[in-house]
């Protein structure tokens, strides 16, 4: 085995895994608080990528800077979806919760298709071709910045949930919805904010991914599936599990290319999903059923 190549793939896997973790954290937060699986998750991330792309093309602002605006925009989008759609279906059977969110995903996908067309778009950012060397290992600067910002955003979300009054209300509503209502918490508003935070983290992840890969309207489905795998791997509703699950999946996918063609990396991902569902259905770190 080529040790240098293995180290190179390990570093790339860790850097990509941090972004996977950020994408999955939004999905895990939404499920952990409302008990709803957001089937429009990947499409929200694609919208974040397109908004970041638009800001870059029209204003020349780098995606790493515009991610604050992108996160704010996707927060409002998530808040609107929760208040107008999801709050009305929370008490429906799980099977009936699926279709409205699948429909929202299709609406977002077709909106992107209408606004930006079907072609792939890939902006040339200032740091897109920059790299630094750590011994024999090359580190892509764009991936390194994306990883660092993903970890920073994840840490801020943890801090928000642990230390702020709204964060504590979100945790209370997630733990016991009826009890939260009885102590005077406006649960619907808290759910709106929680869904908005989940959407904002996904939108920010989209902005971080923009310098790393081309964006197209139809790529949301793949990222929804990737987020599902990470969340199930780490445990549904377990935010720390989502971050660690993202790192595990990123490293596993990357190292698998030592033995398999890169085009087969999804075989590895879905094999992990099947094994986890069989042997650890609540994930490696425990989560909601």
pLDDT digit of tens for each residue in the chain (289 aa)? 678 888 988 998 898 888 888 888 888 889 888 888 899 999 999 999 999 999 999 999 999 899 999 999 999 999 999 999 998 888 888 778 888 999 999 999 999 999 999 999 888 887 777 888 888 888 888 889 888 998 899 899 989 999 999 999 999 998 888 899 999 999 999 999 999 999 999 999 999 999 888 999 999 988 888 888 998 888 877 888 888 889 999 999 888 888 888 778 788 888 888 888 888 888 887 655 5
Distance CA 97, CA 269 (A): 26
- CA 86, chain centre distance (Å): 19
- Among 23, 2, 6, smallest CA distance to 204 is for 23
- The CB-side HSE value for 5 (13 A sphere, CA atoms) comes to 7
Give every CB contact of residue 250 below 8 A, 6+ residues apart in sequence: 13, 14, 15, 16, 17, 18, 19, 20
Q: How many CB atoms lie within 10 A of CB 262?
A: 9
């Amino acid at each position: 085995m080529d040790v240098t190549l293995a180290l190179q793939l390990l570093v790339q896997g860790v850097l990509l895994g941090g972004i996977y973790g950020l994408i999955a954290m939004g999905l895990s937060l939404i499920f952990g608080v409302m008990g709803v699986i957001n089937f429009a998750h990947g499409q929200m991330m694609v919208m974040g990528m397109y908004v970041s792309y638009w800001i870059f093309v029209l204003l020349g602002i780098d995606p790493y800077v515009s991610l604050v605006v992108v996160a704010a925009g996707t927060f409002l989008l998530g808040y609107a979806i929760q208040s107008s759609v999801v709050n009305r279906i929370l008490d429906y059977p799980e099977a009936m919760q699926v279709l409205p969110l699948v429909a929202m995903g299709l609406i977002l996908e077709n909106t992107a298709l209408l606004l930006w067309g079907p072609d792939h778009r890939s902006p040339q950012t200032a740091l897109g071709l920059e790299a630094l060397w750590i011994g024999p290992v090359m580190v892509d600067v764009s991936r390194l910045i994306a990883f660092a910002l993903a970890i920073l955003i994840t840490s801020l979300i943890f801090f928000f949930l642990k230390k702020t009054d709204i964060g504590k209300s979100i945790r209370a509503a997630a733990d016991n919805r009826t009890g939260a209502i009885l102590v005077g918490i406006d649960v619907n508003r808290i759910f709106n904010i929680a869904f908005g935070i989940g959407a904002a983290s996904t939108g920010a992840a989209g902005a971080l991914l923009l310098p790393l890969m081309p964006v197209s309207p139809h790529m949301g489905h793949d990222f929804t599936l990737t987020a599902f795998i990470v969340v199930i791997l780490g445990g549904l509703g377990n935010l720390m599990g989502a971050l660690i699950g993202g790192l595990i999946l990123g490293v596993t996918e990357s190292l698998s290319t030592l033995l398999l063609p890169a085009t087969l990396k999804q075989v590895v991902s879905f094999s992990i999903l099947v094994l986890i569902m069989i042997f650890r259905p609540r994930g490696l770190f425990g989560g909601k059923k």
